[in-house]
Amino acid sequence: MPAKRLLLVFGGRSSEHEISLRSATEVLAALDHARFTPVLLGIRRDGGWRTGSSDTPLAGIISDGEPVHDLRALAPDLVFPVLHGPHGEDGSFQGLLEVLGLPYVGSGVLASALCMDKALIKHVLHHQDPPVAVVPWIELHADALETLHERQRIVDRAHAELGFPCFVKPANQGSSVGVSKAGDHDELIHALQLAARYDSKILIEKAVDAREVELSILGNGDDATIVSGLGEIGLPPGEWYDYDNKYLKDTATLQIPANLPPELAARMQAMALRAYRIAGCKGLARVDFLIDRPSMEPYLNEINTMPGFTSISMYPKLLGHMGIGYTEVLTKLCELALTHHAERQRLSVTR
C-alpha cells in the first residue's frame, strides 16, 4: 500500500513550545518512512501556521516556513499533534481535527481537556466509587487574589487544610510551568501570583513526602491496551521535579524498573488503567504517581495525554524496557488512531 501522508504538528501557542519541537524532531527521525510520508505543520507562538521540507530544522520552519491557511491543503491522511500544553494538548486542536474529519493520534476532545485541567480530573477521579486516590487540594480563581482580605483568607484556609509546605499549580499547564513549592505565608502569596500568570484557575496541593513514579499506557482502553512497568524519578535531597530539573539541569535520574513491591506495582498499574478508561483516553498517556514514603500509599498525580516524546523521555523508555522500540511505538500509535477513527466513522449521523 502507498505510504500515508502523516501531518506532524509541532510548536504551538504554549510555554512548552520548545519541548514540542524537541519531541517532534525525534518523532520525525524515527518514523517508519516506508509506511508514513511526513508532512510538517509548525505553529508559531502567535498562532500562525507554517510548513516546509522535512529536511529543514523544525525551528526554521516555525520562523521562515511557507504560510498555511487551510490545514486541508496539506492533504493529510492522518495527523500526529506533538503539541504540549494549552492550545494543543487541551482538546482545542483535537476539536479542529474532529470538525475536519481527520484521524489523529491521541485522545479526543473531552479526554484531552479533562486530563489537562488538573482540578477537573481530580474531581472526576475523587468521586468515583471507589475513589481513585489523589492528593488533597484546594482550587481557586485568580480573581480571589485581588484583595488583601481574600489573599489572607486563602492562605489561612491552605494552612488549616493542607499545611506547609504545599505546592501551587496553574490548572492548565504542563512540564511544571508555573509550579512552586511554598513553605510559608509569603512564599504562598508569591506562588499564587506566579501561577496566575499562566491560568485563571489555580490549585494548592498538600505536599507529600513522595517518591515520583510513572508508567506508560499504549492502546485505546480495550483489553489489548498495554500498561508498562513503573519507572522512578530520582532527585537529590530537597529537590523536586520542576521545569529546571526536567529540562535544564542534569540532576534527575530514571530508574527502570522502579524498586517497588510487586503487589504495589500491580495495584498502581490497575489504578492507572482504570483512570485512563474513566477519562476516555485513546492511544497513549503517561500516568504519574506520588507514593507517600511513610505509608507507601500511591496517589495518582496526573494523566498526560501527550507526554514528552524524545527518545530519552520516560514514555518511550518505559515501553522500550518492555521490548517495544521507539519506531514501533510510533507505528502502533498511528494504527490505533486509524482504528479509532474508523470505529467513529461507522456511527450513524442520521435518524
Active site residue ranges: 16, 175, 247, 286, 288, 302, 304, 308
The answer to whether the Cα torsion of 29, 32, 34, 38 is positive or negative is negative
Angle at 181 between CA 177 and CA 186, to 5 degrees: 115
Asked if residue 187 lies in contact with residue 31, where contact means CB atoms within 8 angstroms, the answer is no
What is the C-alpha to C-alpha distance for residues 79 and 77, in angstroms, rounded to an integer?
Answer: 7
What is the C-alpha to C-alpha distance for residues 208 and 154, in angstroms, rounded to an integer?
Answer: 20
C-alpha cell at 280: 476516555
Burial of 124 (0-12, 13-18, 19+ CB in 10 A): middle
H helix count then E strand count, the chain:
11, 14
Start-end of H helices in the chain: 17-30, 58-64, 92-100, 109-116, 118-126, 148-161, 185-195, 243, 262-279, 314-321, 326-345
DSSP structure class, residue 250? S
What is the C-alpha to C-alpha distance for residues 170 and 14, in angstroms, rounded to an integer?
Answer: 13
What is the C-alpha to C-alpha distance for residues 237 and 68, in angstroms, rounded to an integer?
Answer: 48
